[in-house]
Amino acid sequence: MTAVSRAFILLAFGITLGALHARTNAADRALPLARARDARDVTPSLAVAKLLESHDQAEQLMLLDELEPGPEAAHAARTLATLLRAGQPDVVTDHALDALARLRSRDAHEVLVTFTRHRRPDARRRAYAALAALKEPSDSSLFEQGLRDSAPEVRAVAAHTLGELHASAMTPSLLRALGHGVNEAAPALGQVGDANSLDEFDAFLGRLPLPVMLAGYANYLQRTDLSEQAKLRIVAALENVSGPAVKEFLNELRQKPCNACSPKLQRAFDSAQSRMRSQPGGTRP
Amino acid sequence: MKGRLGAAGVAQLGSRCLWPGAAVLLLMAACAGNRPDATTPVIVAGSVCSGLVALSAPGPASQPSAASANALAYVRTTPRPELVVYDLTRGRERFRVPAALASRPELLADLVVTTDPHGQLIAFDASSGARRFSVKLARPHWLGAVRVGPNLVFSTTSLSFRPGERGSTVSAVDARSGALRWERSVPYALSRPSARGNRVYVASDHADVWELDANSGDAVGCARQNSGPIDWIQLGSRSILVGAAEQARELTTPAHALGLPITQLPGRPALLASQYDAAPAQRSALGRVALLAELAATTAGPELVAARYFFVFYRELFAFGADGQLLWARLLDSDVVRAQTLAGSGLLVLSEDGSLLQLNAASGALRTLARLAGPIDSADLAASALAPLPAGTEAAPPLRRSLAEIALDTDARLLPGRRLAVAALGALPDPEATEDLLQLYAQAGVPEALRARVAEVLAQRRAGREFLVDALLADYDFLDDRSPPPLAAIVPGLVALHETRALPRLVERLFDPDTRLSELPIVVTAIATLGGPSALPALAEFLAMYHADSSLAAAPDALSAAARALWASSVPAHRALVASVARDPATLDDARAELTALLNPETTNSAPLAQAEPETPKPEAALPITLSDEAIARTFVEHADDLRGCVLSELASNPALRAVRLAFVINGNGSLSGLQVLPDHAELVACLKPKLLAAHFPAFGRARRLANYTIAVHPDARSFERPNDNAAGENFWHFAQLRAAGVGRTGKPWWRNRNPLFVSVESEPAPSPSASQAKQPTGESTGTAPAGRAAAPADAWWLPARGGRASPPAPAAPPPTAASSAEPPAAAASTPPPTAASPAARPSETQTPSDAPARPAAADAGQSAPPDAWWAPAPSNPGPK
């Protein structure tokens, strides 16, 4: 047998093995997919019932991912609460919490509060995100507690949600969080802080990264409940910092439609922008 | 000169005079001329002084001069360098003179003595500040001075690595003119002098005490102790106290030693300051870390005056009873520069900011005597006539408050002192001490080592239970910089006290994400113990919620503990839960295995359920953070016999072996890995490796630490004696040179017994051409000595490089050995002397050429170092590689 023949036989053998392996993998993947198709075929309440009975993790995940808000959301939420309290592997817990966030059912509130104290930071973050989806202003104190969490990702969600909830009573906590490096508190403060909070917010200018501060200022400037005088102070403070980033920021504000921007404020944007250097170290026009 | 001639000395004298030929005749003539009489000191046991010359009892102390009786001399360098003398009696400054100084000033009768950076001794009049004289120092490093009548006696030393330069000198100058009265030099270390009456005492080489006549410098007595090193001498009216480290003993009755429990004190202060240490004029730790103990000699040995001693650690002051019990503590505003005990009644303290404070010895009550202009760099106090501070002059703060103040102090330098205060707080019965400790634990920025120590101390406390319960309320808070409570420290105490009020808070901690994993099993066990059936629902919820969660994968013990408690309850619902968790394939593997064992005790051969008490795992806080060198050494001691066997086997094939160096990694669980052995001979490694891998070190908190250990291999020097050819009238400084010539017998070094892995090499006596002429002596019982042994090796460290006062007799050629035959004697003689040994650490063991194979100089230098000395050089050649 020549070397070429031997090589050909080896190649053919290898191709056969590869094909067999590919078929096996395909079969493995086909099983959960088939189960998923089965899951899609059932009604939501049946899917939830199957969820509790199933011991197949892939099937559980598929069923969880299929859950959407609807008339049976409350029932599904209660079922998921039962599932979560029974204790699940990480991935199932995470998918269940995400499903609860989609369902937005008040029936899951209690279990979600419980999971804001879960040992796994990722589970806590998802629980806070699910609670945020409920948009309950009464949960502000819960999110304020989230600002005190040991995990940065949890603090970030809590800060963001406090802004979304317009929890102005939590402004002091958000300012403290910003001082402790929770950057997400800056845009939240822009959403909830009043004119008095601006002085304390301005104090972070130069200490925190400029993009963080600009995210907060952007929200302050777009507020209709903030006085024009306070907004002019913001422009003045930004002009003191100056630089291309600020210039671009003001330019974007100028170009965007802004209901909260008075003509005087628009002119302040223009004049501040015109006085700023376009490049670092460049001369002022 | 006092002394007597030993029988061995007489016999050796005879052997000395057996030299052949004309040399013998000449030497015999010399011997006849120098025949020692009954008062001649005899050199035995390798020491220049072997106790054969008795020291005379110290006489009465001379009265302190009025000029220095109550004075304070201090040095400032800011804003300009100056020397200031303050009169304590009058409460005013006596004088100040501009001076850049090198050493701490000393108040000596009517003089203030110090040195300058140019190597000069400068003496000022203690009353007026007039400069009396200046004298060039014999050696660069000043040790200190004493005043003896009209003379000023001081010692200087050279720390040079060059043998010709190193050594020490005792000098006496006239205290009025500075004229040199006498001067004695030795090529090794001497202490600073002490004086009593007309006698001066110096310790030589940490081993001998010499008594000199203050007028002539002649040696009038000597003594040697074999019971330990001598770092200081303190003279009483009828006794001489000596000591080192934490021990003091009477020179003639060393068995009655006084040992203070001070080894755990920060900075490891000695009972008295070493007289081999120079005190600089500049700011230094000397004085700032110091033990102040007044000693008195009794028939039972040394005793503490007033049964108390004091410890200074920068800004912290502690007073202890003789048994080590803490009496009081104070935190000062600035560092202590110098402190002095006041005849058992108190302390006089000068701090860096210029505060002169007097403290009551019994209560720690404090009074400020003066506020001098600071900052003060160094000072000397002479407060012999200061009235003690009456008790109750000023209320002293309670000990607990003082300790809390020290423990909470944030001075980063004082961490060891804070640890000491924490331990003392933990020992107090006051319940509030628990609160102080908890407050310290919660303090932001507390170093982790200190926090761990607080947790250890708290775990031992039983007082202040209400504070322990309240501490459970404090949870982690990112915004408030609050740490979770030290549950491992708090909970055991609460369980021991059966404090059921803690139960709800313990349940909160069980579901607190910031409760440390290592503490969860403790919390679970405590809930089960304190709560009984009422606590089971919480445990059931915990088990169900976390049985499959990866957050507990690293510590499934908490799940197991909860399951055991639930199973033991016999409540069907709880048992069903445990059973279902055990069956659940998603349950964490380790936890499932434990639960399976719990449910099927017969099949898994585990303990019956009824006896399955939840175990309290050892909290991490109980472990040391890392492993100390002492702990490593202890483990080696436990395996000393095994390891010694390996080294001896290696010695059989490698006679030149002088050290086995081991480098390795100790893992947190106490196992050893990554072993490197030098020499890396396969047989040696194969012998050592399994023994060391089987050794188990104590567990510690960190993941691992690097460590190394050296097994020293020392030739066992053979004893020999030399005849005493010492001429009458020759003094102690000659003996060093005689010893260099090999005159004397080496004794066992004091440090030998401190290294448990010391491997002694019994060198075979090499066949010597002169053996047929003179039989080799082996000890004192042998009255003869070979001529060849009279010589020291040409590269012996103690030989002066140049300018030796008395040349030793010409050495006979060492007997040829396998090693020495490779290098001719002439070449060996020209080998440059080793440079590794310091004069302050001269070994007591002398090796003669015929005791061991001739080796190059570096190897000899290595041999002269103690096996555990850091400066011991590695055997460079012949290397074991």
Contact A87 B513 (CB under 8 A): no
The neighbouring-strand residues paired with B320 are B309, B326
pLDDT above 90: percentage of residues in chain B? 28
The packing angle between helices A228-241 and A244-255, to 10°, is 150
pLDDT band for position B845 (50/70/90)? very low
Chain-centroid distance of CA B872 in Å reads 17
Contact call for residues B777 and B720 (beta carbons, < 8 A): yes
Residue A108 scores a pLDDT above 80: yes
Contact B549 A180 (CB under 8 A): no
Distance CA A64, CA A80 (A): 9
Residue A273 scores a pLDDT above 60: yes
Chain B CB within 8 Å of residue A89 CB: yes
Lowest-pLDDT choice from B165-174, B278-287, B298-307, B821-830: B821-830
Give every CB contact of residue B262 below 8 A, 6+ residues apart in sequence: B246, B269, B271, B291, B309, B311, B324
A120-162 pLDDT, tens digit per residue, is 999 999 999 999 999 999 999 999 999 999 999 999 999 999 9
Chain B CB within 8 Å of residue A23 CB: no
Distance CA A174, CA A156 (A): 11
pLDDT band for position A3 (50/70/90)? low
**Whole-number pLDDT of residue B247:** 86
Counted across chains A and B, CB pairs separated by less than 8 A come out at: 63
Residue B366 scores a pLDDT above 70: yes
**Whole-number pLDDT of residue B60:** 67
Residue B36 scores a pLDDT above 90: no
The DSSP code sequence of B754-785 is: G-TT-EEE-PPPPP-GGGGTSPPP-STT----
Chain B, residues 532-571, CB within 8 A of chain A, namely 541, 543-552
Tell the burial category of B91 from Cβ atoms under 10 Å away from its Cβ (0-12, 13-18, 19+). Answer: exposed
**Whole-number pLDDT of residue B651:** 83
The DSSP code sequence of B438-458 is: HHHHHSTT--HHHHHHHHHHH
Strands of the sheet with B199-204, listed across from one edge: B194-196, B199-204, B208-213, B219-224
Residue B171 scores a pLDDT above 90: yes
Contact A89 B546 (CB under 8 A): no
Distance CA A122, CA A93 (A): 10
- Of the candidates A85, A118, A173, which has its C-beta nearest B479's C-beta? A173
- Pick the closest to residue B65 from B19, B108, B31, B20 (CA basis): B108
Most A CBs within 10 Å: which of B475, B476, B477, B479, as the mutation test of the A interface?
B479
Distance CA B842, CA B740 (A): 12
Residue B683 scores a pLDDT above 50: yes
Contact A93 B546 (CB under 8 A): no
**Whole-number pLDDT of residue B510:** 94
Mean pLDDT of B61-87: 80
Mean pLDDT of B402-416: 91
Centre a 10 Å sphere on the Cβ of residue B314 and count the other Cβ atoms it contains: 22
- With vertex at residue B698, the alpha carbon angle to CA B634 and CA B590, rounded to the nearest 5 degrees, is 160
**Whole-number pLDDT of residue A45:** 63
Least Cα separation, residue A168 to chain B (angstroms): 18
Distance CA B204, CA B164 (A): 18
Mean pLDDT of B339-351: 86
Please tell me chain A's helix, strand, coil percentages from 3-state DSSP, rounded to the nearest 5.
75, 0, 25
Mean pLDDT of B353-376: 89
Interior/surface letters B290-312, b for 16+ CB within 10 angstroms, e for the rest: bbbbbbebeeebbbbbbebbbbb
Give A226's DSSP letter. Answer: S
Lowest-pLDDT choice from B193-202, B575-584, B656-665: B656-665
**Whole-number pLDDT of residue B831:** 33
Most B CBs within 10 Å: which of A112, A115, A117, A119, as the mutation test of the B interface?
A119
Long-range Cβ contacts of B291-294 (<8 Å, 24+ apart): B291/B260, B291/B262, B291/B265, B292/B339, B292/B340, B292/B341, B292/B347, B293/B260, B293/B341, B294/B341, B294/B343, B294/B344
Mean pLDDT of B868-874: 33
**Whole-number pLDDT of residue B601:** 67
Calculate the average pLDDT of chain B.
Answer: 74
End-to-end CA distance of chain B: 53
pLDDT band for position A250 (50/70/90)? confident
B113-137 pLDDT, tens digit per residue, is 999 999 999 999 999 999 999 999 9
Mean pLDDT of A250-262: 82
Q: B541: nearest CA in chain A?
A: A85
**Whole-number pLDDT of residue B666:** 87
Distance CA A170, CA A178 (A): 12
**Whole-number pLDDT of residue B751:** 40
Contact B478 A118 (CB under 8 A): no
Least Cα separation, residue A210 to chain B (angstroms): 22
Give every CB contact of residue B725 below 8 A, 6+ residues apart in sequence: B13, B16, B27, B30, B31, B34, B743
B507-558 pLDDT, tens digit per residue, is 999 999 999 998 999 999 999 999 888 889 999 999 999 999 999 998 889 9
Residue B469 scores a pLDDT above 60: yes
- Chain B residues close to A173, C-beta within 8 Å: 479
Contact B479 A180 (CB under 8 A): yes
The packing angle between helices A210-221 and A244-255, to 10°, is 20
- Pick the closest to residue A79 from A39, A52, A42 (CA basis): A52
Least Cα separation, residue A117 to chain B (angstroms): 6
Token pair of A254, please? 């100028």
Lowest-pLDDT choice from B103-112, B324-333, B577-586, B750-759: B750-759
Q: Which range in A163-177, B641-655, B735-749 is most confidently predicted, on average pLDDT?
A: A163-177
Contact B512 A117 (CB under 8 A): yes
- Of the candidates B477, B513, B581, which has its C-beta nearest A118's C-beta? B513
pLDDT band for position B719 (50/70/90)? very low
**Whole-number pLDDT of residue A7:** 53
Contact call for residues B820 and B828 (beta carbons, < 8 A): yes
Contact B544 A180 (CB under 8 A): no
Please give the residue that has the higher pLDDT: either B6 or A109. Answer: A109
- Pick the closest to residue B50 from B667, B516, B745, B593 (CA basis): B745
ipTM for the whole complex: 0.80
Backbone angles phi, psi at B260, to 5 degrees: -100, 145
pLDDT band for position B389 (50/70/90)? low
- Chain B residues close to A85, C-beta within 8 Å: 541, 544-545
- Pick the closest to residue B398 from B463, B328, B461 (CA basis): B328
Tell the burial category of A26 from Cβ atoms under 10 Å away from its Cβ (0-12, 13-18, 19+). Answer: exposed
Give chain A's length. Answer: 285
Contact B546 A150 (CB under 8 A): no
A52-90 pLDDT, tens digit per residue, is 777 788 888 888 888 888 888 888 899 899 899 999 999
**Whole-number pLDDT of residue B417:** 93
Please give the residue that has the higher pLDDT: either B790 or A172. Answer: A172
Residue B670 scores a pLDDT above 60: yes
Least Cα separation, residue B588 to chain A (angstroms): 9
Mean pLDDT of B636-640: 80
Please tell me chain B's helix, strand, coil percentages from 3-state DSSP, rounded to the nearest 5.
30, 25, 50
Distance CA B753, CA B748 (A): 9
Give every CB contact of residue B862 below 8 A, 6+ residues apart in sequence: B658, B659, B836, B872, B873, B874, B875, B876
pLDDT band for position B367 (50/70/90)? confident
pTM above 0.80, yes or no: no
- Of the candidates A86, A147, A149, which has its C-beta nearest B544's C-beta? A86
Calculate the average pLDDT of chain A.
Answer: 82
Residue B15 scores a pLDDT above 70: no
Contact B478 A86 (CB under 8 A): no
Residue B766 scores a pLDDT above 90: no
Give every CB contact of residue B591 below 8 A, 6+ residues apart in sequence: B547, B552, B556, B559, B560, B563, B581
Residue B387 scores a pLDDT above 80: no
A218-242 pLDDT, tens digit per residue, is 999 989 899 989 999 999 998 888 8
Contact A87 B547 (CB under 8 A): yes
Token pair of B795, please? 């590269």
pLDDT band for position B53 (50/70/90)? low
- Chain A residues close to B513, C-beta within 8 Å: 117-121, 124, 149-150
**Whole-number pLDDT of residue B278:** 85
- Chain A residues close to B549, C-beta within 8 Å: 87-90, 93, 118-120, 123
Distance CA B562, CA B540 (A): 7
Backbone angles phi, psi at A73, to 5 degrees: -60, -40
Chain B, residues 429-488, CB within 8 A of chain A, namely 476-480
